[in-house]
Amino acid sequence: MSSDSHAVDAAREAIDKRVGAPPRLVLPEKFEFSSSWRRAQVAPHEVGPSRDAAHFDVVLGYEDGDDLGDHHRVLFAIENGALRAECSCKAWTYRDWCAHVALLYWKWRALNEIGVTNLDTDETHHSRPYWLFVPAEGEEEPL
């Protein structure tokens, strides 16, 4: 078994041990006008893989400076047909949306710069698969 497969197995096992499923990412209404979305696109940042296939290590600064901010380990993976996201920052805790998740979504959806692991199939997607629907607030999944 390859080390990539071990990383996916470890991520799947960690998620299985949680109480409840990780949150499905639902984009806030008009997210593209949010300060988190703007910060994700213009602030200095570093993004790298974490210890397991479901998480990324994100360090994100602010628009008006060159300094990088605090480190955050961000869940960003596909599980049970949905994009799952979660961050330890205060913005995520209060709003279920933050610049760290916005950065990963932007780098994946718009720039194709990161691969997102499907924990059900062990596949890595470098762009959104045609079958994956990421809803905005109040939007229902098409049939």
| pLDDT digits 0-9 by tens, 35-57 | 899 999 999 999 988 888 889 99
Q: Is 35 helix (H, G, I), strand (E, B) or coil?
A: helix
Q: How far is Cα of residue 41 from the mean position of the Cα atoms in its chain?
A: 15
Half-sphere exposure of 64 (CA within 13 A, CB side): 1
Residue 135 confidence (pLDDT): 85
* Digit-coded pLDDT (tens) for 3-31: 566 666 656 666 565 555 567 888 888 88
Euclidean distance between CA atoms 70 and 62, whole angstroms = 11
C-alpha span between 1 and 15 (Å, rounded): 20
Structure-token match 């045609």, residue found: 130
Residue 59: what pLDDT?
Answer: 93
pLDDT for the residue 103: 94
CA gap 129, 11 in Å, rounded: 20
pLDDT digits (tens, 9 = 90+) for 92-135: 888 889 999 999 999 999 899 999 999 999 999 999 999 999 88
pTM over 0.95? The answer is no
Alpha carbons 117 and 52: distance in angstroms, whole number: 10
Q: What is the DSSP letter of 30?
A: T
Predicted confidence at residue 49, as pLDDT, reads 85
User: Which of 8-12, 65-69, 72-76 shows the highest mean pLDDT?
Assistant: 72-76
Distance between CA atoms of 80 and 29, rounded to whole angstroms? 24
What are the boundaries of each domain within the chain? 3-125
* β-pairing verdict for 45-49 and 55-60: antiparallel
Q: Which of these, 45, 39, 42, 77, lies nearest to 58 by C-alpha position?
A: 45
